[in-house]
Copies of this chain bind each other. A is one copy, B any other.
């Protein structure tokens, strides 16, 4: 287990689907940040399942409680304990699957690694684990916004084979992202995506998708070469989210098909007196260090592993069997993953900002 991330802004999470609670400890938050549950709840609510036809219908209130680290509405500089109670603490529908590891799910690997597993099967690979991250990320995000005006916005850029048109961040807000249930700001593509997810759900299947995330107003100089280059740490943060299969920054995989003369971002003096670049194939990072341009990256999510459709597979003992998952399951996780991606971005940036401070002191 490695449930702690960060060097100076250190977040440790705990919790499975069916224990008493999930949550996190945030250690290293600067003192005197105005903070209450109301600052944290909105992103938790965006993460919550059952918000729309797109996502599973289990009702989870996910109300966060601050247990420590805040007094008189201000952070103390001490660890902030965060807790969200689980509503349903008993293993239910999941019980009967126990002898058949779900294909491409964590049942098998958890059992092999730990010699035990949660009744829900996936243990910490459960989406519910991400609650602690989202709560912690909301704190980082608030501090970054107050210090630098940092804005982090993620959206759905593809579902299955339906791609949104290329969207720049210019003016793009979370409200616009949330304007439709699939959270794709390209309304035309969004409608097609919703149709695809509905059809997929109807036949008890699931479908993957891609998120784009942009972070603006990032100080120059963040990232710790060599093993914690900005892109390396973002990649780790993003691929620590369940169901992810890929990460790319700036030009990404398409950059591998380009020539240097096309790909290099020329420097130019910006209107605000900052030396910037006229293109951003770098995605805001050079030499592993932020250059002041927006960070732009994408994360690939596989289709959810748990599907109601019949699958031929095998028991733990190797006997062939057919599995049909009971209950309701997310046919597509990308809309719900948005606040998680935003949170992991904020946690990564926050830690880098604090680590850079001594160089500017």
Oligomeric state, in number of copies? 4
Q: Is the CB of A245 within 8 A of B236?
A: no
Q: Is the CB of A246 within 8 A of B253?
A: yes
Interface size bracket, A side: 35 or more
Q: Is the CB of B260 within 8 A of A256?
A: no
Tell me whether A87 is interfacial, beta carbon within 8 Å: no
Known: A221-B113, A244-B231, A253-B248. A259 touches B207 (CB 8 A): yes
Of the stretches A43-51, A76-84, A180-188, the one at the interface is A76-84
Query: A137: which B residues are within 8 A, CB to CB?
Result: none
Query: A238: which B residues are within 8 A, CB to CB?
Result: 232, 235
Tell me whether A258 is interfacial, beta carbon within 8 Å: yes
Tell me whether A176 is interfacial, beta carbon within 8 Å: no
Known: A266-B314, A313-B267. A2 touches B226 (CB 8 A): yes
Q: How far is the CB of A315 from chain B (nearest CB, A)?
A: 8
Tell me whether A69 is interfacial, beta carbon within 8 Å: yes
Q: How far is the CB of A82 from chain B (nearest CB, A)?
A: 9
Name A's interface SS. mixed
Query: A78: which B residues are within 8 A, CB to CB?
Result: 1, 3, 14, 16, 114, 118, 123-124, 225
Closest 4 CB pairs of A and B: A106-B287, A269-B318, A246-B248, A206-B260
Closest residue of chain B to A252 (Cβ to Cβ) is B246
Query: A104: which B residues are within 8 A, CB to CB?
Result: 260, 263-265, 281-282, 286
Q: Is the CB of B112 within 8 A of A225?
A: no
List 17 A-B pairs, Cβ < 8 Å: A2-B227, A4-B227, A31-B116, A108-B267, A124-B226, A125-B226, A158-B256, A200-B259, A206-B260, A208-B257, A232-B238, A245-B249, A245-B283, A255-B303, A259-B303, A261-B307, A357-B358
Closest residue of chain B to A249 (Cβ to Cβ) is B245
Known: A78-B124, A79-B14, A313-B266. A259 touches B205 (CB 8 A): yes
